[in-house]
Structure 1
């Protein structure tokens, strides 16, 4: 079954180039394209869209605002296309629940791989984006009580903060993917967080 994709970018050349390139992968079906976040939201509401690939800076409604609305009102997952000078946007997108963060200047195969990973239930943050975000967060660390977590849960939290997928965490900790999912569910329940990307932020902010 193909991944149903929406591409949203206000640059027509980038938008159409991505449509052509991503459509060449047999596992991806580009359902529609949009030039702003409001139109992307409308498409996601009216169609079954598995992944919405959103540019950050767009007119009418930017990618961060669109991510919040799409995630709260549909079952679509969101991947943010970003650049190095959009730190504040990245932070807000993280809070809004986007599942992927990738730089625009990546080769097509990396963008395709990110789409497939997010579609399979993983969160993906490009290492360079993650490191920059982490550097900005370190200066404003909060103290978080770890007494509520088991030792294994803390290991899972750390692994998530390193950007590892469920499969990679399972391999690293010598447990099944199903067990990893159970640990993540427990962590979310204990913290009141809503998705695994927020767990990474939770860890980056610091523990007691």
Structure 2
């Protein structure tokens, strides 16, 4: 199946670079490009995209608001493209429903892997960003949402731990969730628990269903809120 991709960034050179990287992938097709969030939303409505690679700071409509609208209308999954020092934007993007976060200086292989992961229903949290973003979310520091964008509490926020008790999970499901919260992939979890990767995938699916999480991003937030990891 070909993954249909939309590129949304106000810098034409950045869009061209991503398009060049993705053009050599046999299962990916860039079907549209846009220079601002409003045009990106129109692109998602018009071109039947599967994934949108979304910048944050753009004219007309920023990437946070565009992500919120795209997710609300169930048009596509969104991967936010950002720089390391703006975790405040990442926090707001998480609340807006983004499925992934990728640094703009990521290697081409990382970009391709991220798109594959999100297309398969997983979520991507760049290791460099996970701790800072999740820590702020858990602590409830919701005072740095970008002006003009979707503030915390808007859109589709992650489920609070209290709404879905940890006790609903089996012991093995709790183990899997805790390792997910540490940023481990299914393959890494399988190695740690000495089980097959297909078994881990089954556990992950059960965990998401039981805690009411849309994807791994929400599951990680849930785990941190529920105190299931010792990671800072």
Asked whether the two chains share a fold, i.e. TM above 0.5, the reply is yes
Structure 2 match to 1:183: 203
Q: Does 1:42 align with 2:47?
A: no
Q: Does 1:196 align with 2:216?
A: yes
Structure 2 match to 1:11: 11
Q: Does 1:172 align with 2:195?
A: no
Give 3-state SS (helix, strand or coil) of 1:184's partner. helix
- Would the aligned equivalents of 1:37 and 1:63 in 2 still touch at CA under 8 Å? yes
Structure 2 match to 1:90: 90
- Would the aligned equivalents of 2:121 and 2:215 in 1 still touch at CA under 8 Å? no
- Would the aligned equivalents of 1:81 and 1:104 in 2 still touch at CA under 8 Å? yes
- Would the aligned equivalents of 1:6 and 1:33 in 2 still touch at CA under 8 Å? yes
Q: 1:136 to 1:147 in 2, by over 3 A?
A: same
Structure 2 match to 1:160: 180
Post-superposition CA distance 1:115-169 (Å, at most 9, x none): 1222223211111011222443565599855333221121121122122333443
Structure 1 match to 2:116: 116
Residues of 1 paired with 2:189 and 2:77: CA distance? 21
Which deviates more from structure 2 when the two are superposed, residues 88-97 or residues 160-169? 160-169
Residues of 1 paired with 2:209 and 2:124: CA distance? 22
Post-superposition CA distance 1:94-131 (Å, at most 9, x none): 22322211111222222122112222232111110112
- Would the aligned equivalents of 1:143 and 1:207 in 2 still touch at CA under 8 Å? no
Number of equivalent positions: 208
Show structure 2 runs of 5+ residues with no match: 142-159
> For 1:37-76, what aligned pairs fall within 5 Å after superposition?
37-76=37-76
- Would the aligned equivalents of 1:68 and 1:96 in 2 still touch at CA under 8 Å? yes
Show structure 1 runs of 5+ residues with no match: none
Post-superposition CA distance 1:58-87 (Å, at most 9, x none): 122221222222123235221110112322
Aligned CA-pair RMSD:
2.6
> For 1:97-108, what aligned pairs fall within 5 Å after superposition?
97-108=97-108
